[in-house]
Amino acid sequence: MAITKKDVEHVARLARLALSPEETELYVSQMAKILNYMEKLQALDTKGIEPTTYTVPLTRKFREDKASPSLPQEDILNNSPEKAKGCFKVPRIIE
């Protein structure tokens, strides 16, 4: 499963990263080397083995459906690069 320049460009789009041509070149070679190392896993037979995603049993916990105070709107907006009328402001998306 050799990784190509086209793969890296596709993944960068999925990851929303505007990589420069130099970065793309670098990641093609570095990812190829790293993924090649990962190939060692293919040697193991894992048929029928349950994957582990969490090491602790995740129990569903219910709580009372009761409103509790959340952080003030102003505090939340304070960190935003651009804000307007109590909202996060982004570049126009509708013509």
Partner 1 sequence: MELYNLTIHELSEKLRRKELTSSELTEVFLKRIDAVEVKIKAYITIAKDDAVKQAKEADKRLASGRDITPLTGVPISVKDIFCTQGMLTTCASKILNNFVPPYDATIIKKLKDAGAVILGKNNMDEFAMGSSTENSAFVVTKNPWDTERVPGGSSGGSAASVAAGECAASVGTDTGGSIRQPASCCGVVGLKPTYGRVSRYGIVAFASSLDQAGPLTKDIKDCAVLLNTIAGHDPHDATSIEAPVPDYTAGLGKGIKGIRVGIPREYFIKGLDSDVEQAVRDAIEVLKKNGASIVDVSLPHTDYAIAVYYLVATAEASSNLARYDGVKYGYRASNNNLLEMYCKSRDEGFGPEVKRRIMLGTYALSAGYYDAYYKKASQVRTLIKNDFEEAFKRCDVIITPTSPTPAFKIGEKVADPLTMYLSDIFTISCNLAGIPGLSLPCGFTKENLPIGLQMLGKPMDEETVLKTAYSFEQATEWHKKRPSI
* Residues contributing to the site for partner 1 (CB under 8 A): 1, 3, 7-8, 10-12, 14-20, 23, 27, 30-31, 33-35, 37-38, 40-42, 44, 46, 49-56, 58, 61, 63, 71-72, 75-76, 78-82, 88, 90-93
Name the minimum Å distance from CB 75 to partner 1: 4
Rounded CA-CA distance 28/75 in Å is 42
Comparing CB distances to partner 1, the nearer of 86 and 91 is 91
Query: Residue 83 — φ and ψ, nearest 5°?
Result: -140, 155
Strands 83-84 and 87-88 come out as antiparallel
